Amino acid sequence: MTFLRLTSLGAALALTALTGVGAAHAATPAAAPAAATATTPAASASTPVITGPSASAALPDFSDGFGLSLVREDTQVNGPADFTLTVTTPQLSGKHPIRILLPAAYDSEPERRWPVTYFLHGGGGNVNDVGAAPALHSDSMITVVPDGGMKGWYADWLMQNTAEGKANWETFHLTQVVPFIDAHLRTRADRAHRAVVGLSMGGYGSLHYAQARPDLFGHVAALSGGVDFGMWEVRGAVLATELNLAGAWCAVRSSSGSGSGSGSGSGNCAGHGPYVDSDAIFGSPYPFFDADRVWKAVDPAAPVNLAKLSGTGVTLYTGDNDIVDAQTAKASHTVKARLDELGVPSRLVDYGDGTSLAPTCDGGHHYGCWAPAFADYVPRLEAAFAAAG
């Protein structure tokens, strides 16, 4: 490693300093994940009722295309209008699930086309996380949940020879998954009827994707997102996932039904996959000799990137009541202020300690807050889709 790369110990110390973990936080009721990371909630995974080739008869007809090859024996049917495909692609190593939620009337109204929302899960999560946010299974739209990797960060990685292997997540999602879905399902394939939403790591992904491809997405929502790469707290979270420093962000494990959301799991930390170089995804994070140029180029809070959201419906949600969402609140308010300066309309919901949002929310970084946030957002999104005609 060069002197600009972090050792595991150095990153742990840096992350501790960046998030303020220490005596001041000794009374925190439950440890939280690093900013912009999230674990799979215990109640989020649906148990498939049909798996394998026999499931295909219940599904729309899918075939290989757009660089994606179906692994048909891994198809899962989780319930009515809820199934998971598995694909391979030259853009990524390994096999990758894509979970699809259809409106109840999809089969009974064969002439109707539907808006589509892409949900991007958080770090350490997977496609089954959508089960913890029931509002995303709407009868007014198709919801697609593509695999984003344990620490993919919705990016085409600078390093392609790490333990993760090939890692072109942005290319996979934007140039393969989106056209694949439009080719096989009855979608409304225009930006006015397509949204991208995400939380935590996926909050970064959703805002970045909306900026990178405003021709694709007319609506974007970021929940507790790592949306300001100008903040060392957010950069530190990315580095922690690269180095798989589980001890630095022991995760609050909860779901939409877990009461205050102060933790319903065993207390173990979710992993983020194998260790990779600290420069693997976005290069060096240090602002010396323009070494952090990639970080700056993809920073969702950069005014040049925020200006690309003109004409896009932008919504931000965050709490501010744990060491993680205290940082996502800062990031979200920065983005909101800069959008206001640019004259780009947006909506920010800072629900603070969660009392204004739902009984399950304590203002922390978990689905006890994210599920009711989606319950607030989805009807607004459905209305926007309907208004687009």
pLDDT for 83-93, tens place per residue?
999 999 999 99
**Residue 79 binned pLDDT confidence (cut-offs 50, 70, 90):** confident
Q: What is the pLDDT of residue 11?
A: 44
Helices of type H across 160-312: 169-171, 178-184, 201-212, 232-242, 293-297, 303-306
Q: What is the pLDDT of residue 246?
A: 56
Q: For the segment 95-125, what is each residue's pLDDT rounded down to a tens digit?
A: 999 999 999 999 999 999 999 999 999 999 9
- For 104, the token pair is 């109840």
Q: For the segment 348-368, what is each residue's pLDDT rounded down to a tens digit?
A: 999 999 999 999 999 999 999
Q: How many whole angstroms separate alpha carbon 135 and alpha carbon 221?
A: 14
Overall average pLDDT of the 140-149 stretch:
98
Residue 12 clears pLDDT 70, i.e. is over it: no
- Tokens 């889709």 sit on residue: 385
Q: Which has the closest alpha carbon to 88: 69, 74, 104, 105?
A: 69
Helix (H, G, I), strand (E, B) or coil at 284: coil
Q: What is the pLDDT of residue 38?
A: 52
C-beta atoms surrounding 369 within 10 Å: 31
What backbone torsions phi and psi does residue 219 show, to the nearest 5 degrees?
A: -145, 140
Q: What is the pLDDT of residue 5?
A: 53
Question: Which CATH superfamily groups domain 8-387?
Answer: Alpha/Beta hydrolase fold, catalytic domain (3.40.50.1820)
Residue 258 clears pLDDT 80, i.e. is over it: no
Q: What is the pLDDT of residue 304?
A: 98
Q: What is the pLDDT of residue 59?
A: 87
In sequence order, the 6+-apart residues with CB closer than 8 A to the CB of 191 are 214, 215, 216, 217, 218
How far, in whole angstroms, is CA 319 from its chain's centroid?
A: 16
In sequence order, the 6+-apart residues with CB closer than 8 A to the CB of 375 are 134, 135, 358
- Tokens 């991208």 sit on residue: 196
220: enclosing H helix or E strand: strand 219-223
Residue 306 clears pLDDT 80, i.e. is over it: yes
Overall average pLDDT of the 234-258 stretch:
64
Strand-pair partners of 167: 92
Q: For the segment 30-59, what is each residue's pLDDT rounded down to a tens digit?
A: 333 334 445 444 334 444 444 544 444 468
E strand intervals along 35-179: 50-51, 69-70, 76-79, 82-89, 92-101, 116-120, 142-146
Give the pTM. 0.86
Residue 144 clears pLDDT 70, i.e. is over it: yes
Average pLDDT of the residues of the chain: 84
C-beta atoms surrounding 107 within 10 Å: 12
Q: How many whole angstroms separate alpha carbon 95 and alpha carbon 296?
A: 31
Residue 244 clears pLDDT 90, i.e. is over it: no
Q: For the segment 146-191, what is each residue's pLDDT rounded down to a tens digit?
A: 999 999 999 999 999 999 999 999 999 999 999 999 999 999 999 9
Q: How many whole angstroms separate alpha carbon 366 and alpha carbon 118?
A: 19
Q: What is the pLDDT of residue 4?
A: 44
Q: What is the pLDDT of residue 102?
A: 98
Q: What is the pLDDT of residue 245?
A: 80
How far, in whole angstroms, is CA 122 from its chain's centroid?
A: 4
Strand-pair partners of 96: 87
81: left (phi over 0), alpha (psi -120 to 50) or beta: left
For the chain, the domains span: 8-387
